[in-house]
Structure 1
Amino acid sequence: MSNQNQNSHLTAIERTSLSYPARILLNQKKINGKVLDFGCGIGKDVELLKVKGIDIVGYDPFYFPEFPKEKFDTILCFYVLNVLLPEEQAEVLMNVSNLLKPNGKAYFAVRRDIQYEGFRIHKVHKKETYQCLIKLAYLSVFKNENCELYEYQHYTTLNKGKTDLSPFLSGVETRELIVETATVFSFYDKFPVSKGHSLIVPKRLVSNYFDLTLKEQTACWIIANKVKKILQEKYNPDGFNIGINVNKEAGQTIWHSHIHIIPRYYGDIENPRGGIRGVIPNKKEY
């Protein structure tokens, strides 16, 4: 959590029964396989769902801080986004997308009864806490005056073969998603230059990077930072080349703007000096 929002954990509610969203999903038989409660707070849902025979673990940055190391079939994220700042919300969305199996489903519950947005003094703890309203571009599976439940699947799974959305979605194979946010997704390159070569792609079909809005460009680089961190942990490269091809003259061949994240390794070429200057080979040395 950022230093601006240190008390988000104080919004966790002590309960003796299953949360309302958990009861809805349980009744609809949507809690399946290996399950993660992301932002589980004190962990009551985890405890009670285990009693019902569900294979579930919990993660919470304050109460259960060991970050998961595996992928899950179902991820629950209840009333977490409402108490986070926008940059923290993006981090949660990226983490959930990365922890979800390719054909898995995640469920986000958000409050619909918040009357006042922003920082205020918590009536019980007497400390400053943050609350906001959230709308997600995912399938809404339940809504009343108090809460709404969204169902999330990987963008590359939901839209496989939909070339009207992106040429990167063509074919019958599902692209392995790395992370995504509401406006950007990332996956491993089909023809990698190096181990871990990844692409960052805005969901809006725009061919020229400079025609993206500033907000979309910012979202691309938020994802790029996250993907770099994941690649560093997974492959431990010695460096990176990061680049964008804009127009045919610069080598662009797929007309959906994308950023290349190319991990580099000691000894992968004889002389790496000059890096991306090598796009014009006789200008590389200087």
Structure 2
Amino acid sequence: MCPFCKKKPEDYFAESQHFAAIYNLAPIVPGHSLVIPKQHVESLFDLPDEAFVEMMKFSKRIMKFLCDYFHTNAFDWAIQEKPPAGQSVAHLHLHLIPRYENDLPLPGDWYVQMVASEKQQIDVHMRARLSEEALQQMTERLKQAAAAYFTSN
């Protein structure tokens, strides 16, 4: 079964009607999160236009929250469509990656690290993964912060 389809509402730190925000199990930098459809969708092209608009609006709100929470105004967004583009989970997901001055040797290194780790390192656990407990703790912190943030914004 698809690992994103196994996610439950308690795994989300924010959600809209059809999308959820989750913290990445193996973040490249602090704050690296994903927006996923709650239902199984493999391709961006499979999303109806209304769902695409919802995804983009929701992702924009989540990215703004992450930038504020992690004290930055720089970020990357990435959708990898199909294995030749680096997609390792056959479920549509948008990477939201807050960026920081000198967080990686070169500004574009996030993509190289993500592709390399997803294709080669995730299965051999070379990319640092959060423990289940650490992932739950981060999700809960973000969930509480997001609830307060979206109530006031």
| TM-score interval, smaller chain | 0.5 to 0.7
Q: Distance in 1 between matches of 2:40 and 2:81?
A: 14
More strand by share: 1
Runs of 4+ in 1 over 3 A off after TM superposition: 169-172, 273-280
- Which structure's relative contact order is higher, taking Cα pairs within 8 Å and 6+ residues apart? 2
Number of residue pairs aligned between Structure 1 and Structure 2: 115
Q: Distance in 1 between matches of 2:7 and 2:43?
A: 23
Q: Distance in 2 between matches of 1:259 and 1:272?
A: 19
Aligned-partner SS, 1:231: helix
Q: Distance in 1 between matches of 2:38 and 2:91?
A: 9
Task: Tell me what 1:193 maps to.
Answer: 28
| Aligned-CA RMSD value | 2.8
Q: Percent identity?
A: 27
1:168 aligns with 2:4: yes
**Alpha-carbon contact 1:185-1:200 (below 8 Å) kept:** yes
- Between Structure 1 and Structure 2, whose CA radius of gyration is higher? 1
Q: Distance in 2 between matches of 1:224 and 1:171?
A: 18
Cα gap change, 1:250/1:203 in structure 2, threshold over 3 Å: closer, same or farther? same
**Alpha-carbon contact 1:183-1:204 (below 8 Å) kept:** yes
When normalised by structure 2's length, the TM-score is 0.64
Cα gap change, 1:216/1:195 in structure 2, threshold over 3 Å: closer, same or farther? same
Deviation string 1:41-71 (CA, Å, 9 cap, x unpaired) is: xxxxxxxxxxxxxxxxxxxxxxxxxxxxxxx
Q: Distance in 2 between matches of 1:274 and 1:192?
A: 13
Q: Distance in 1 between matches of 2:35 and 2:7?
A: 19
Please, which runs of 5 or more residues in structure 2 have no aligned partner?
Answer: 116-153
Q: Which amino acid aligns with 1:184?
A: F
Choose the corresponding residue for 2:79, options 240, 244, 248.
244
Task: Tell me what 1:212 maps to.
Answer: 47
**Alpha-carbon contact 2:28-2:113 (below 8 Å) kept:** no
Q: Distance in 2 between matches of 1:170 and 1:248?
A: 21
1:181 aligns with 2:12: no
Q: Distance in 1 between matches of 2:76 and 2:88?
A: 19
When normalised by structure 1's length, the TM-score is 0.36
More helix by share: 2
**Alpha-carbon contact 1:246-1:252 (below 8 Å) kept:** yes
Task: Tell me what 1:137 maps to.
Answer: none
